[in-house]
Amino acid sequence: MNLYYDLFNKKEKIAIVGLGYVGMPLAVAFAKKVDVIGFDLNEKKIELYKSGIDPTNEVGDNVIKETTVKFTSEENSLKEAKFHIIAVPTPINSDKTPNLSPVEGASKLVGRNLVKGSFVVYESTVYPGVTEDICIPILEKESGLKCGIDFKVGYSPERINPGDKVHKLENIIKIVSGIDDESLDEIAKVYELIIEAGVHRAGSIKVAEAAKVVENSQRDINIAFMNELAMVFDRMEIDTKEVIDAMNTKWNALEFYPGLVGGHCIGIDPYYFIYEAEKLGYHSQIILSGRKINDGMGKFVAEAIIKKLILANKVVRKSKVVIFGMTFKENTPDTRNSKVVDIIDNLKEYGINPIIVDPEADADEARQEYGIDLIDIKDVKDIDCLVLAVAHDAFKNMSWEKIDSLYGDFENENKILIDTKSILDKKELKEKGYSYWSL
């Protein structure tokens, strides 16, 4: 097959299935080199893209307005393409088991529109074996074609870091894999069109699948270690950030910090690995323990808030608490698997219904997914406690005068400030007399 040359010469097209934080930057990048069809089932999202609006804030409205991507929600358009990249989310169920419905649905959709000579590459995070054992049979059943003969399949895990304007798609090394040497070579050449950092050719699809879940599990474990230290240091009345700053003076320190671990990667991928390991009779110890620690941080922060309210002689149930930040990380509208929700839920157990402010978050998504209505900061006043849950630039750049204006008319020692990201100057806050706590 010489699909790479046909793509490059615009005789064939690439289709990106799933236009979220992963698929949309891919579509835009490839459109600078080849003809691209950008497909998503969400008609509202497609209309936004067609109108030149980037709801993800990943590349910006101007880029969307100028791109040549053909945005569509019509699945028949996929028949025009021969190189399909599936970039749909792979969440977990309420029992922490993998939810493969999106990737299975995308496989059926692509399969129905697959033509001979095509390539299908999966970017969705899965546990080792999903591509070959689950996805390929679906493609074959829906298309009536035979994998390896009529079409080829590969896996190339996404490594996009939402909101990161430094580590972007183009300058992150891309892992690629295929069912055979021919597919590996073809897939690698296609990705090399847009990946300036180059590609790493994995020995098999399972190796590529495993690499993805392992790299995020590794980060999860390291953050869990710091979170455990933070909980212990809190009892010891030692400032965790000061300890980390001192530790980081050593050349081989890893520079991980405690925090809420949510999102669609680090907070989810370890469960995919745990699930498959347990199917094979191995009960995870380190990875599962790390997950339990990180999943418990929302409760830990909520209890720190309650403790501060009590020490300030406030009536807990009548206390006005405002939380700054709803997204799973800073400077992104993405609220998927946000652990701020855990803080909110735990506070509600004490009779507190916190006010949530987040100028970056997708307000519709927050309302639909969590039943949370976001409040404009201008409507916040007379609060007892401010919780800085997400380090958006908008929050980091707030003046002390603005922060102070949010509180009620009482002494600074009764103005509670919870800083989960340690973004504020602790010394200055102490000098001003605030009741300050950081993770």
Catalytic member of 135, 147, 265, 385: 265
Residue listed under structure tokens 């749909």: 88
* Burial (CB count <10 Å: 0-12, 13-18, 19+), residue 18: buried
What are the distances in angstroms from CA 243 to CA 76, 239, 293?
58, 7, 20
Cβ count near 389 (within 10 Å): 29
Q: Write the DSSP assignment of 283-333 as a string of letters.
A: --SHHHHHHHHHHTHHHHHHHHHHHHHHHTT--GGG--EEEE--SSSTT--
β-bridge pairing 174-178 and 151-155: antiparallel
CA–CA distance, 50 with 47 (Å, rounded to integer): 5
Q: Is 149:118 a contact under the CB 8 Å cutoff?
A: no
Q: Could you identify the residue written with the tokens 């209890």?
A: 303
- Bridge pairing between strands 435-438 and 385-388: unpaired
Compute the C-alpha angle 232/237/238, nearest 5°.
Answer: 80
E strand or H helix at 136: helix 136-143
Q: Are 343 and 370 in contact (CB under 8 A)?
A: no
Q: Can 265 be counted among the known catalytic residues?
A: yes
**Best CA proximity match to 291, nearest among 268, 257, 264:** 268
Structure tokens at 150: 């009529």
Q: At what angle do helices 205-236 and 286-295 cross, to 10 degrees?
A: 50
- Give me the torsion for CA of 238, 244, 246, 251, rounded to 10°: 160
Catalytic residues: 265
